[in-house]
């Protein structure tokens, strides 16, 4: 498979080094070197590559916004972010903008070449430290989601849920919380709606799954 590659980076030495690396590799050819997003937009329109290596920290328009612009104009180009930034916010922003891969500039040359080939085969490669950051972000998001889920229940609904988990009947719940049985039923119906379940057993199981009980 012959793949064409272009590079968008405001560092001329890095552009030259990467282009030499790409051109020294069988089946890869560097067809464009650009120092800004504006240059890249014009160049890519005239000579469209299969893969674009994109820096984030760029003059005027940054690489994330540049990715969004270029993907809108050329959706078939696979864009790999090649940057020094490893924070979760920029990783997520890049992926949402349309990037298919995310590598750090300290990535070994052979891994960059491997990534270019992999991405055209449908992969979404990332540097190991980037992948770890993504996993940690997902874990944090899940914890926040669980906390949010618990907050969705009112204090009284949560008390009813706890007594359901203890195996109490509607009458027992009403007696302990000093409310009518019909009111208990109303609370339970609201709990079912918020947890998206249809039975007491399912409500307890879902609450435990979310870390609420």
Do 77 and 50 touch, CB atoms closer than 8 A?
Answer: yes
Q: Where in the chain is the domain with CATH 3.40.50.2300?
A: 3-131
Q: In terms of CATH, what superfamily is 3-131?
A: Response regulator (3.40.50.2300)
Residue 183 pLDDT exceeds 90: yes
- DSSP E strands in 21-173: the ranges are 28-34, 51-54, 78-83, 101-104
- How many other C-beta atoms lie within 10 A of the C-beta of residue 73? 11
Structure tokens of 30?
């560097």
- DSSP E strands in the chain: the ranges are 3-8, 28-34, 51-54, 78-83, 101-104
Q: For residue 205, with 0-12 CB atoms within 10 Å meaning exposed, 13-18 middle and 19 or more buried, which class applies?
A: middle
CA distances from 151 to 139, 147, 154, 196 (A): 19, 6, 7, 15
Residue 61 pLDDT exceeds 70: yes
pLDDT band at residue 88 using 50, 70 and 90 as cut-offs: confident
Query: Considering only the top CATH level, what class is 144-209?
Result: mainly alpha
What does the pLDDT average to over 204-213?
A: 86
- DSSP E strands in 71-209: the ranges are 78-83, 101-104
Q: Where in the chain is the domain with CATH 1.10.10.10?
A: 144-209
pLDDT at 59: 86
The values of phi and psi at residue 130, to 5°, are: -70, -45
| Residue 79 β-bridge partners | 52
Q: Name the H helices within 5-57.
A: 12-23, 37-46
147 vs 138: CA distance, rounded Å:
14
Task: Please provide the average confidence, as pLDDT, over all residues in the chain.
Answer: 87
């Amino acid at each position: 498979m012959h793949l064409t590659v272009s590079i968008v980076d405001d560092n001329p030495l890095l552009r030259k080094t990467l282009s030499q690396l790409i051109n020294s590799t069988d089946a890869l050819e560097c067809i464009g070197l650009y120092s800004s997003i504006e240059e890249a937009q014009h160049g890519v329109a005239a000579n469209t590559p299969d893969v674009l290596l994109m820096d984030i920290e760029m003059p005027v328009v940054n690489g994330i916004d540049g990715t969004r612009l270029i993907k809108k104009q050329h959706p078939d180009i696979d864009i790999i972010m090649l940057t020094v930034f490893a924070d979760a916010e920029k990783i997520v922003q890049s992926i949402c903008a349309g990037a298919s891969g995310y590598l750090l500039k300290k990535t070994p040359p052979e891994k960059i070449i491997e990534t270019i080939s992999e991405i055209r085969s449908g992969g979404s490669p990332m540097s190991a430290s980037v992948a770890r950051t993504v996993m940690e972000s997902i874990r944090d998001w899940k914890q926040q989601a669980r906390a949010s889920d618990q907050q969705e229940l009112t204090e009284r609904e949560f008390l009813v849920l706890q007594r359901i988990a203890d195996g109490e009947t509607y009458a027992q719940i009403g007696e302990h919380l000093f409310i009518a049985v019909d009111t208990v039923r109303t609370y339970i119906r609201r709990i079912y709606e918020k947890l998206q379940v249809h039975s007491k057993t399912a409500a307890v199981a879902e609450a435990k799954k979310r870390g609420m009980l």
